[in-house]
Amino acid sequence: MNRIKIIGAGLAGSEAALQLADNGWKVELFEMRPQVQTPAHHTANFAELVCSNSLKSKLITTASGLLKAEMKILGCKLLPIAEECSVPAGNALAIDRELFGKKVTAFIESHPNISIHREEVTELNDELTIVATGPLTSKNLTKSLVEIIGNEQLYFFDAIAPIVSAESLDHDIIYCKTRYDKGEADYLNCPFSKDEYYKFVEALNEAEKHEAKEFESEFFSKIDFHFYENCTPIEELARRGKDTLRYGVMRPVGLEAPKTDKRPYAVIQLRTENKDKTAYNLVGCQTMLKYNKQKKIFRMVPGLQKAEFLRYGSIHRNTYLNASHILNENLSLKNKLNIYIAGQLSGVEGYVESILSGLLVSNILIKNLNSNLLPETTISGQLWRHLITENKNFQPMNANFGLLPSLEEKIKDKRLKKEKLAERAIRDLKKKILNTENTEKK
């Protein structure tokens, strides 16, 4: 009988444990709570949702809704339990968190193939292991991971800039250019006049911030680890002086507009998020501003006046690996092949995405699932590819339509376009699964 150790009975670990156990694997599941708590969990339940009780939209015309539909096709174990615990919330799958946690715990506790160990794991050894310890991985285990992968491959903070859709950009204003024309013109540039720049800085200075949960510093302040350096929020930089940004992240030198050869007063650069260039990241614009303020302020950026936000910016405690450098395609560590990584630690972001990750890793082990078996047109396939595709600026990713390749036909109506993207994803995924099953039968 196959045996495996799973560390962490959160969303990813619980999904992986149930998948493997139902497929006849003997699972040793380690969870440190309630003996050792994280700064965000409150119960001893498995699969505890630490903050909001929403697994986001049920509509397949939203990225999260589509992802959930794909995960159901892939045989997800936790989503049906979540649905049993749902509470009224319009189109969203909101759940009774307490009930959900209790049900998942009871399910796992009663499974004949799962043995539970309520203890903190502090070291990684040579056993076949899934590490699913999440964004708040305990200090001791983090140290052990750092010894394997190196200091610079593990981050503690997430500094996320907003992502906007390519089709919402105003290309009459924005132009393509790399600084001093070095390398390929991969960046788009939003040029500011003097007046536009100072209005933008003023708006940043006046905007309201998210209430940050400051458990980060007390928890990790005494550890001499690598910290993510570029995580100063843009509004913080703006407060240091009215010209700080234009001498820093918004520096215009070497970015003269090709048509006029004139240098703007300041520039915000946009970097593409995917090879189809359907989504762009606002370089240097990591922020703690409230979402409605982000929308208002970043729409002041020339060329972004109608920007569609696929993801908003944020900064929070988040332990995650530099996945695209250190993970194999099968989500094991390149330099310790018996260790697989699942959940938010692997570089996905969000409840549903973490469950997906547990589903993927377990199925990689159970049936040799590989990323070619999840079409590029699916959100699940693209989230997996995001983790294993070389990326100098790797950042965690949540479900969004910007991950998907464009449709062959040009559709202007946004709703219709999302419907078509969703139809294509579901159709391609079902076809792939059917083909694989038929090949296996032969």
Ligand X SMILES: Cc1cc2nc3c(=O)[nH]c(=O)nc-3n(C[C@H](O)[C@H](O)[C@H](O)COP(=O)(O)OP(=O)(O)OC[C@H]3O[C@@H](n4cnc5c(N)ncnc54)[C@H](O)[C@@H]3O)c2cc1C
Contact footprint for ligand X (CB under 6 A): 7-13, 30-33, 38, 40-41, 50-52, 120-121, 132-138, 141, 213, 317, 343-345, 350-351, 354
Residue, CB closest to ligand X: 10
Q: Quick one: 11 or 161, whose CB is closer to ligand X?
A: 11
Contact indicator for 318, 158 with CB cutoff of 8 Å: yes
Q: Which amino acid is at 396?
A: P
Contact 104, 46 (CB under 8 A): yes
Nearer to ligand X by Cβ, of 190 and 327: the residue is 327
Which of residues 132 and 429 has its CB atom nearest to ligand X in the complex? 132
CB of 48 vs ligand X, minimal distance in Å: 7
At closest approach, how far in Å is the CB of 331 from ligand X? Answer: 13
3-state secondary structure of 183: coil
What is the smallest separation between the CB atom of 181 and ligand X, expressed in angstroms? Answer: 40
Minimal distance in Å, beta carbon 398 to ligand X? 7
In the bound state with ligand X, the residue whose beta carbon lies nearer, of 131 and 188, is 131
Taking the complex as a whole, how short is the minimal distance between the CB of residue 41 and ligand X, in angstroms?
Answer: 6
Residue whose CB is less far from ligand X, 198 or 291: 291
Q: Which is nearer to ligand X, 136 or 161 (CB)?
A: 136
Which residue reads 């560590």 in tokens?
333
One-letter amino acid at 160 equals: I
Q: Residue written as tokens 């009871």?
A: 106
Q: Residue 378, SS3?
A: coil
The residues pairing with 321 across neighbouring beta strands, listed in sequence order, are 154
Per the structure block, which two tokens stand in for 61?
Answer: 């015309």
Report d(CA 31, CA 8) in Å as an integer: 5
Do the Cβ atoms of 380 and 386 come closer than 8 Å? no
Comparison of 255 and 339: residue with beta carbon closer to ligand X = 339
Question: Taking the complex as a whole, how short is the minimal distance between the CB of residue 68 and ligand X, in angstroms?
Answer: 12
CA-closest candidate to residue 89, choices 49, 58, 63: 58
Min CB(110)–ligand X separation in Å: 19
DSSP string computed for 291-344:
HHHHHHHHTTSTT-TT--EEE--EEEEEEEE-HHHHB-TTSEETTEEEEEE-GG
Question: Which amino acid, one-letter code, is at 13?
Answer: G
